[in-house]
A and B are shown apart, each in its own frame.
Chain A
């Protein structure tokens, strides 16, 4: 039996035109041995949920710089649940004001990362979230 690979979808929902951050995270996850499906820019929540389903991912990383996270995150979480993927862990990176963090966590977002976050923290958190505490 082959070892379990962690599959992560990295997506840019909404109208952001800038994906350097998402690509940095994608590469960091790859360097940690994960398989990263990168969707590219301007994804609708429906496209993201569809990709998550087809690729049977363990986690979804959303990169949102536009400030639309309070609208986009719940929509995506909702679609994942509707599709039977409520156990997929959702991570959010980009420009997220501190005051929005508790609300997002309450919605079900597992981790929120602003500019300057160490990619190693993200890698560690994804591993723990997907494989359990022992995986750290």
Chain B
């Protein structure tokens, strides 16, 4: 395994790909590689892209990557997460279909991941996978996932910059936009901006935005709109606040993509200048540690628990002889029942 890590650090793409598999499958080799690679992490800009199915996330990622490659030459990894079927354990991962323009560019690496049992959102191993890309020297890692279940929260915890993508005409726009996305979105994108219903969607988002960021008041005064206490009026406030912009794009022809790239770049700058980058890094690593502690304790507990004891306790719960809480105590204290 050490050889694989060395090859990866030297730029070998097969080694990188094989290591991604080890890490995704949580093998002992994968873990030991992560240990070795950790010191090389912390440099990549992690960008999450989430939103309902069908809004054009993959197409947007495609255009964004093309633009950033052309403008900056940055090396980009793309992780596209799609749901695993809870019934069969399999998945069809089709995001590459929308990213054909990125083929043949050695500065791009696309990896599809199935969520493997996680309810919506990210796969368990996504965070570890981003670490491998980070250590391998990628400047940016774009993580794309469908905004189902806990996805937005998962992504916001992992990424430095989170994009939430919506599209007009997806039903009743105000209801269709998930409550709480404002708390995690750093940039709001309305893709398919050429579709009817654009103004409706934009107004709905702006309305939610104004509720979430009360520093900026807009009110009607004799029929005119006036802005009071906008951060723009207060330089200090402006520098310490990031108000999520609402950007409009049409991924099919690339409209709005340069502005989106600029906004992402501006957010990265804001994070560094405000000290937020370090705060988020800390919070991310804390979440990572917490989650690993939980997983390790649980699996150790299960490993030390005899199957027949578990079955016996379960039977008592079903017979209503033991409540679930009593069962847990019984299992943990080793009391005989």
Contacts and interface: CB of A to CB of B under 8 A. Distances in A.
Given A1-B25, A1-B27, A50-B103, A85 B14 contact: yes
Interface residues of B, number: 31
B13 A54 contact: yes
Per DSSP, chain A at the interface is mixed
Contacts of B109: 54
Interface in A10-47: 26-27, 29-40, 43-44, 46-47
Contact of A54 (B24, B89, B110, B114): B110
A47 B313 CA distance: 54
Per DSSP, chain B at the interface is mixed
B324 to A, nearest CB: 27
B267 interface: no
A33 B90 contact: yes
Counting chain A CB atoms within 10 Å of each CB, which of B13, B17, B90, B104 scores highest? B90
A53 interface: yes
Interface residues of A, number: 32
A84 B4 CA distance: 14
Interface of A: 1-2, 4-5, 7, 26-27, 29-40, 43-44, 46-47, 50-51, 53-56, 83-85
6 contacts: A33-B90, A34-B90, A38-B93, A40-B96, A55-B111, A56-B21
Interface of B: 13-14, 17-18, 20-21, 24-28, 84-85, 88-94, 96-97, 100, 103-104, 109-112, 114, 116
Given A35-B90, A38-B97, A56-B21, 18 more contacts: A4-B25, A5-B114, A27-B92, A30-B85, A31-B90, A32-B90, A33-B89, A34-B90, A35-B112, A36-B91, A37-B93, A37-B94, A43-B100, A51-B96, A55-B111, A56-B20, A83-B14, A84-B14
